[in-house]
Structure 1
């Protein structure tokens, strides 16, 4: 697998801000971690890419397998918005990834899904994810670190045996390896369009994509609370957390900011924002 060509990315790039500065690494611990270290000195829209991550991370601190030949990137954003608005950017990024993949591989459109809030699925198996982090100072958002990971070229043997039925790659699901440079540029093109709309308080296009691609709406789900708050039973949750809480619900819709609207078994309705809650499909 050839290393990423910045000139090829630039050839396909049509943005005004995102990706106008690209910082590329052969190996880094995590593009999100590196973006945090550089955030004060880099402009909005700077993109960090790495062939390999030695300490890739997913949501809730989970390890993310990050060998070469795939896409590990972080976009540095500096929106002048309250922190309460930032979780919506996970939906913005997920929608952008789906739009980019549909554009380059129209044949997979009906098999491509988003498992709220941040997993990208192909044929029901996870091929990518979004990790949105904030840097806050004096109650003001200084930077948003938007990480996108896509399994492009991983083979079955690259995954630990225990997750081979759950995780996959574009190659495994399609038999094809897309141009990583073209896919990165397409993601950034779509992301900039949706991000600029987000800054105008317009999430309509993002939400339309997320609803159309949702793997959870209309489904029974299991909500797992990882907040560390004690439960009345004190029992372990199914993920092994000592103080988690499990509740079953039905996913009804997405709210105006991308939050998940649910109905518990007792009829109680609630909205869930991305953060300390994860979910499983029943």
Structure 2
């Protein structure tokens, strides 16, 4: 059977190894077209192109996102292995390099809890992004692929990686939502590292505790026109709760 032209994006699983002859190499690629683990596939890859072999062996590490273009070689026997023979390899994304010499956490339990929180947050984000309207067969020329996953000292944690495809329109919606959330957090003063001054909190608390709602109600009603007092009273009740109205009748104010 004729070789089948094929292109595949995926994460490098494990260290690539040199082939039996010079200028060759072999590696495994983990491809996840969606965020469902059942749809992940491990594709064995080989190359006899010296430049490609050199790139894979010297520049790529486990967890790198690669685009491999070549042709599929179907097995000659029923128990054979399907392989992707690469003509070109492109590095699409490199995980951040962490300091391997960093001292480990003293509290192992705390580290496990932190990892669980991180993985839970990644899962929640993946579900939310998928809910933007992932299409089973998006237009290849108009889709945007988002890759998310945890990065450890050894590279990508492939068990918790997700790839989500969205359309440009959905990407714009996501960008607008992030901008709105950023503005909201800035307005609330919840920027990273922001700590409210304890004295300011105490002053504000004292200020609101000193407000006499009955006196405030009396002042507002005195300033209101007689035909508007009932509406003003209802509005203040809606704001502060059911407040006692000074006097037995608004006209006594």
Normalising by structure 1, report the TM-score: 0.20
* Larger relative strand fraction: 1
* Larger relative helix fraction: 2
Q: For the pair shown, which has the larger CA radius of gyration, 1 or 2?
A: 2
Structure number with higher relative contact order (C-alpha < 8 Å, ≥ 6 residues apart): 1
